Amino acid sequence: MRNREERVRKKLLVARRVEALEGFRENKLGAREVWNRGGPGLCADFGHSVED
């Protein structure tokens, strides 16, 4: 059961990153900024802060 939950969670994280990259193409923001804008705590999900 846990493996299934992790797969779903990873898919959601990837989807949020894809949305952020689409925003990058439209808005011409810095790639690093848009990557970190994927959602509140996106990078924190991997154990480090957005600023890292």
Q: Is 41 part of any domain?
A: yes
Per the structure, the complete domain to which residue 31 belongs is given by 2-46
How big is the chain by its Cα radius of gyration, in Å? Answer: 12
Q: Is 26 part of any domain?
A: yes
Q: Is 37 part of any domain?
A: yes
4 vs 36, more confident? 4
Residue 42 in contact with residue 36, Cβ under 8 Å? yes
Q: Is 51 part of any domain?
A: no
Report which secondary-structure segment, H or E, holds 36: helix 31-36
Kindly report, residue by residue over 3-33, the tens digit of the pLDDT.
888 888 888 888 777 777 776 666 655 556 6
pTM for the whole structure: 0.35
Task: Work out the pLDDT band at 52, boundaries 50, 70, 90.
Answer: very low
pLDDT at 37 over 60: yes
Domain count across the chain:
1
